[in-house]
Amino acid sequence: MTNIKLIKENILISLTSIKSHLLRTVLTVMIIAFGIMALVGILTAIDAVEYYLNDNFAMMGSNTFNIQNRELRVHIGGNARKAKQFERIDYRQAMKFKSDYDFPALTSLFIYGTGIATIKYESEKTNPNVQVMGVDENYIATSGLEIASGRNFVQEEINSGNHVTIIGSEIASKLFKKNVDPIGKIISVGSGKYKIIGVLAEKGSSVGFSGDRSCLAPMGNVRQYFSRPNMNYRISVMVNDQSQMDAAVGEATGEFRRIRKDKAGEDDSFSIIKSDNISNMLIGLTSKIQIGATVIGFITLLGAAIGLMNIMLVSVTERTREIGIRKAIGATSRTIRNQFLVEAIVIAQIGGLLGVIAGIVIGNGVSAMTGSAFIIPWLWIFLGLSLCFFVALLSGIIPANKAAKLDPIESLRHE
C-alpha cells in the first residue's frame, strides 16, 4: 500500500513538473508520438491491406484456380522481369478443355466483352464503367458470386446466345428506385437490349474486378455482339474436394498441354493461377513495408530518447535545490531516482498514447479507403507502449542517477 501511495505521489510530482515546463515537454511528447504514430499507423494499414486481400481473393475460393494466357507477376519497383504473355486461348481450346477435363470439379468459361459499357433503363443510366462479361452456366458458382434475386443462366440460353443478363447490385440500385423489381425489365447494354433474369448479391470490390458493377451475359451473346479480333478466353475450375487441389491442377496442366500441343520438355504455353497464391504473393510484399515502418519508428524513437534524456538532465539541473530540500527532510536517493524515472515514463507514455491513437486513425483511414474492416491492432499497441516504456527507462536512468547522487548540502546552496 505504501509503494502504491509513493508511485501516485511521484506521478503527481511528475505532472506538476510537466506543467511548469509545458513547451519543452510538449515538443518531446510530439517526437515520441510521431515515432509511435509512424510505427502503429503503417503496421495497422498493412494489417488492413492484408485483411482486404485475404477477404477479396477468398471471393474466388481457396479451391478454385484459373487457366489463362498471361503469367501473373507482382512487384514493387526495381527491374523485375516482365510477365510472360502466351498465345491467346481461343474458343475451341476452351470448349475442348471443358468437355475433356475428367476430374471431380466444376469447370466454367468466361470472356471479357468490354469494361466501358453504359447501362440504361428508361431515363436512368450508369457511368460508362460497367464491365460486360460473357459467361457460362457455371461461372456464378466458380467465381464465388451469389444471386440475390432471380435465377442463373440455363444451358439453352448459353448455347443460343439469348439477350438475357444478370446485373450487379450497384447497377440495380442505380437504375431502379426502391420497391421496383429489376427482374424481367428490359435494359440497354451498349446498343443492345437485354432482359434481366437475375441480380447478384452485393459483394464489394475485389482486386481488379467489382462484381457489383458487372453485367453478365451468355458467352455466345458476348462473342457475337461484343466481338473483337483474337478474343481471349479464361477457364475457371472449382475442385469439389480442396485436399485434391494439387491433383486437380496437375490433371488440368496435362490436359491443357495436350490441347495446346505443347511438346515434351517445353514450358507450358499458359499459366495456372490459384487465388491463395495471388494473395500470398501480394501479402509477402507487405513484409518489406513492415520493415521500413519499423526502421522509421525506431529512428524516430531514438531521436525521442535523446530529446527525453536532454529534458530530464535539464530538469535535474533546474531542480537541484528542490532535490536538496527533499533529501534534507528524509527522502532517500532511491526515492529521488524513482521520482525522475517515473517522470520520464509519464512523458513517454503520454506521447505513446497520443501516437497510438493517431496511428489507429491513420491506419483505419487506409482500411476505410480499401473497404476493409475497422482494425484495432492490439499487438502493435502493446509493442508501441512497451517501446515507450523502454525508451523512458533508457533516457531517464542517467538523469535519475545524477539526481540521486546529488549532495543535499551542495544542492541547498545551488541558486
Q: Which amino acid is at 82?
A: K
Q: What is the pLDDT of residue 285?
A: 61
pLDDT band at 208 (very low <50, low <70, confident <90, very high): very low
Residue range 117-131: mean pLDDT, rounded: 90
pLDDT band at 233 (very low <50, low <70, confident <90, very high): very high
Residue range 45-57: mean pLDDT, rounded: 67
Q: What is the pLDDT of residues 172-193, one digit of tens each?
A: 998 998 788 999 999 999 889 9
Please give the angle made by the CA atoms of 374, 379 and 381, to the nearest 5 degrees. 80
pTM: 0.58
DSSP notation for 111-136: EEEEEEE-EEETTEE--S-EEEEEE-
Q: What is the pLDDT of residues 352-393, one digit of tens each?
A: 888 888 888 887 787 777 666 677 777 777 877 887 788 777
The pLDDT of residue 228 is above 80: yes
pLDDT band at 221 (very low <50, low <70, confident <90, very high): very high
Which DSSP symbol is given to 226?
S
The pLDDT of residue 110 is above 90: yes
Give me the residues paired with residue 70 across strands.
85
Q: Which amino acid is at 70?
A: R
Hey, what's the torsion of the CAs at 392, 6, 12, 31, to 10 degrees? 0
3-state secondary structure of 186: strand
Grid coordinates of 394: 533508457
Q: What is the pLDDT of residues 289-298, one digit of tens each?
A: 777 767 777 7
The pLDDT of residue 194 is above 90: yes
Q: What is the pLDDT of residues 337-352, one digit of tens each?
A: 777 777 788 888 888 8
pLDDT band at 59 (very low <50, low <70, confident <90, very high): low
Across 52-56, 128-132, 222-226, least confident range = 52-56
Q: What is the pLDDT of residue 53?
A: 62
To the nearest 5 percent, what fractions of the chain are helix, strand and coil?
55, 15, 25
Longest dimension (CA), the chain: 103
pLDDT band at 73 (very low <50, low <70, confident <90, very high): low
The pLDDT of residue 92 is above 90: yes
Top mean pLDDT of 140-144, 310-314, 379-383 is at: 140-144
What is the percent of the chain where pLDDT is above 90?
24
Tell me the C-alpha distance between 182 and 195, whole Å: 9
